[in-house]
Amino acid sequence: MIKFENVSKQYNSGHTVLKNLNLHCKEGEITVFIGPSGCGKTTTMKLINRLIDPTEGKILVNDKDISTISPVKLRRSIGYVIQHVGLFPHMTIADNVAVVPRLLEWEEKKTQKRVDELLEMVKLAPNTYRNRYPSELSGGQQQRIGVIRAFAAEQSIILMDEPFSALDPISREQLQDELIHLQKDIKKTIIFVTHDMDEAIRIADKIVLMRSGEILQEGTPEEILRRPANDFVKNFIGKKRLAQYEVIPESEEVMTRKPVTILPSRGLAESIKIMERKQVDSLIVVDTNDRLQGYITIYDVIQQFRNESKRVGDIMHTFEHVISPNTLLNQTIDLMDEHKLPYIPVVKNDQTLIGLVTRGSIVGHLSDIYSTNGNEGS
Amino acid sequence: MDYIKIFATRGSDLWSAMIEHLIISGTALILGIIVAVPLGIYLVKTKNTWLRSIAFSITNIFQTIPSLALLAILIPLIGIGKFPAIIALFLYSLLPILRNTYSGFKSIDESIIEAARGMGYDGKQRLFRIELPLAIPYLMSGIRLTTIYIISWATLATLIGAGGLGELIYGGLSVYDKPLIFASSITTMILAIVIDFLLGALEKFLTKQTTSREQSA
């Protein structure tokens, strides 16, 4: 959707703001640029609507080099929300929202309809607010108008430059929620600049962390929190936030790696033998490729034992709950607790069984942590 | 009683002098607006700082020259009559209009300009749909102030043969005709007050959407 290819920006004074930037912002995703002030995040964003032109490299929007599009035309096709709202004080709310449609010379009827539609989208009754002036609205309401103004001409790309930073914490969270909610329906490609890590984690599909004109790390919030690339990223994210994620282990660390399994084609007598040998009361059924099929318990086997024709596959139950190797332990525990599960299989995306989280394995994991801590303390 | 009667006996003189006065002041003012407003806008937009300071210094100098001296110095340059008077008053009008235009445009919030640019207004649309309407309060107060100055200074223009209400005032002074002095001075004052009131009304009309709303919020 938006591609940066070897983009650099240098000012006449020789000061370099961006160094050889390569980046891809995917369609329908919220990409958040974050970093300390002066890191080049706002500059990067303004390159997209040509408020700033790069010194080197090119930027492609929908595979088209934007240096070939006139800035005015380009900007009308890209929504823009700025930090200080920037509503035009001499225009009514309706006129403010209608700015781009009118620049594009839409039919007046269509424009009015669109304005009402947008006002309703952010729950400001059109009849009440249409003819008010920006100064008659609260800060939060003003920025709602700022946001819908950027959507007015059905632009598919929206740039947002620290749009909520001037708001009080409560309105800020409200607007973040509204944006997330809105994005579910409208699926715009949004470039969002912020310096607030909480905000980034909350709304981003992808976070691009920058410093001194370079990208330090990019990835989903989860990836960045789990695997910060270096100490700067760690510091920027903050110990507190990292701690939340570091302390809670993933299921992969907790599971037993060698659950006792059986093929569905095996007989019941054989399954009893295995249970006896391994000292377990149930077996996980997998196919020859280790794909999870279900499970059998000792009770099922005893009940059906007389029927020699029955195979494991005939009497097995399927699992209602499975987890991925990245599922956090707290989520796993919640799941086991809620459904009273003695154990829960860990599978990869293709259903390949890789382990089993059991009550025993959890206790084992916890004892590992606490005994280590105990040793350190003494 | 003479003070009232004079309005009847010299009524037509007063009237034509007032019209002349208005023409001189009005022409000077319109010229001033035509030159100073675009220049002010240009000075806001240009990155050329020395040009800006030169323009301000020059207009500043015109403003500081005593009005009588400025009128006098124009006689050897362009002679006497209405034309030099208009030129002198025009030069006076430049600074206040220029300065108010400049600060009017400067007063516009950067974020509004950026929003306008970012949303795809081209230069002309931005100027006429966003910047000019927002700068109007400043512009109007500059014009209003200048108008009052010009109307009062125009009374001096009679000294270089421009006519206007000043002619009647000086005429009255030279023969010590107290009713005439009174009538012509009062007319000048009323003219200034009425024009100021009209411009004030215009200003209110043009700016009611922005300023009054902002104040009420």
Q: Is B47 on the interface with A (CB under 8 A)?
A: no
Site of tokens 């000086």? B170
C-alpha dihedral, A294 to A295 to A300 to A305, nearest 10°:
90
The SS3 call for residue B199 is: helix
Residue B118 has its nearest CB partner, among A51, A103, A136, at A51
Domain boundaries, given as residue ranges, for chain B: 2-209
The SS3 call for residue A193 is: strand
Please tell me the distance in Å from A72's CA to the nearest CA on chain B. Answer: 5
* DSSP characters over A245-297: HHHS-BHHHHSBS---EE-TTSBHHHHHHHHHHHT-SEEEEE-TT-BEEEEEE
- Record: contact A136-B213, CB cut-off 8 A: yes
8 A C-beta contact, residue A211 and residue A21: no
ipTM higher than 0.85?
A: no
Instruction: With a cut of 80, say whether residue B211 has pLDDT above it.
Output: no
Q: Is A105 on the interface with B (CB under 8 A)?
A: no
Tens of pLDDT along A56-113?
A: 999 999 988 999 999 999 999 999 998 888 899 989 999 999 999 999 999 999 999 9
In 3D space, the residue among B135, B179, B194, B159 whose CA is nearest the CA of residue B67 turns out to be B159
Tens of pLDDT along A144-157?
A: 899 889 888 888 89
Cα(A213)–Cα(A38) distance, rounded to whole angstroms? 8
| Cα atoms found within 13 Å of the Cα of residue B145, Cβ hemisphere only | 16
Helix pair angle (B165-175, B178-207), 10° resolution: 160
Q: Which of B47, B109, B114, B119 should be substituted to probe chain A, the one whose Cβ sees the most A Cβ atoms within 10 Å?
A: B119
| Cα atoms found within 13 Å of the Cα of residue A215, Cβ hemisphere only | 19
8 A C-beta contact, residue A66 and residue A48: yes
8 A C-beta contact, residue A262 and residue A296: yes
The amino acid at residue A112 is Q
Tens of pLDDT along A269-310?
A: 888 888 888 888 889 999 888 889 999 988 888 888 888 788
Closest CA in chain B for residue A103: B121
Q: Is A86 on the interface with B (CB under 8 A)?
A: yes
Site of tokens 């500043």? B60
Q: Is A45 on the interface with B (CB under 8 A)?
A: no
Q: Is A164 on the interface with B (CB under 8 A)?
A: no
- Record: contact A87-B115, CB cut-off 8 A: yes
8 A C-beta contact, residue B97 and residue B142: yes
Please tell me the distance in Å from A86's CA to the nearest CA on chain B. Answer: 4
Q: Is A139 on the interface with B (CB under 8 A)?
A: no
% of chain B exceeding 70 in pLDDT: 95
Strand runs labelled E in chain A: 2-10, 16-25, 30-34, 56-61, 64-65, 78-81, 157-161, 189-194, 206-211, 214-219, 261-262, 282-286, 292-297, 343-347, 353-358
Tens of pLDDT along B85-121?
A: 899 889 888 888 998 999 999 989 888 998 999 988 9
Q: Is A73 on the interface with B (CB under 8 A)?
A: yes
Cβ contacts of B108 on chain A, cutoff 8 Å: none
Cα(A309)–Cα(A304) distance, rounded to whole angstroms? 10
Largest CA distance in chain A: 89
Alpha helices in B107-177 (DSSP H): 110-119, 123-125, 132-153, 165-175
Cα(B42)–Cα(B37) distance, rounded to whole angstroms? 9
Provide φ and ψ at B40, rounded to 5°: -60, -45
Cβ contacts of A84 on chain B, cutoff 8 Å: 109, 111
- Other Cβ atoms less than 10 A from the Cβ of A38: the count is 13
Instruction: With a cut of 80, say whether residue B208 has pLDDT above it.
Output: no
Cβ contacts of B111 on chain A, cutoff 8 Å: 82-86
Q: Is A100 on the interface with B (CB under 8 A)?
A: yes
Cα(A147)–Cα(A175) distance, rounded to whole angstroms? 10
The SS3 call for residue A65 is: strand
Q: Is B1 on the interface with A (CB under 8 A)?
A: no
Residue B120 has its nearest CB partner, among A86, A103, A136, at A103
What CATH class is the domain B2-209? mainly alpha
- Other Cβ atoms less than 10 A from the Cβ of B60: the count is 14
Instruction: With a cut of 90, say whether residue A363 has pLDDT above it.
Output: no
8 A C-beta contact, residue A17 and residue A211: no
Cβ contacts of A77 on chain B, cutoff 8 Å: 120
- Other Cβ atoms less than 10 A from the Cβ of A301: the count is 20
Tens of pLDDT along B124-169?
A: 899 989 999 899 888 988 899 899 989 988 888 888 888 888 888 8
Cβ contacts of A73 on chain B, cutoff 8 Å: 120
User: Could you tell me the domains of chain A?
Assistant: 2-247 (3.40.50.300), 252-367 (3.10.580.10)
